[in-house]
Amino acid sequence: MGRSLERNHPMKEITFRMEACRETGGYVARWDAPGGGGITTQGDSFGELQAMVTDAVKGYFDASQRPSRVRLHFVEDPLLALV
């Protein structure tokens, strides 16, 4: 079940740090909760990662505490290789 936060109102927004996973070729997203804990999830593609983050946020927070927005912040800008 979700974890209750110290505040009695939901956070408006949380930000996940996103990085490319050099081992799998996919992406990893991390959010550190205030006071410890948090969420880490991964996906093989950007679309899959978005779905995994959505699912993880829904599972972590009680419905009344769930943030209304989730921001994905790239730690390093993606690089496109043009062939």
Beta carbons within 8 Å of 37's beta carbon, 6+ residues apart: 3
Cβ of 48: how many Cβ atoms within 10 Å?
14
pLDDT in tens, 7-66: 556 689 999 999 999 898 999 999 999 999 999 999 999 999 999 999 999 999 999 999
Q: What is the pTM of this model?
A: 0.79
Residue 20's beta-bridge partner residues? 27
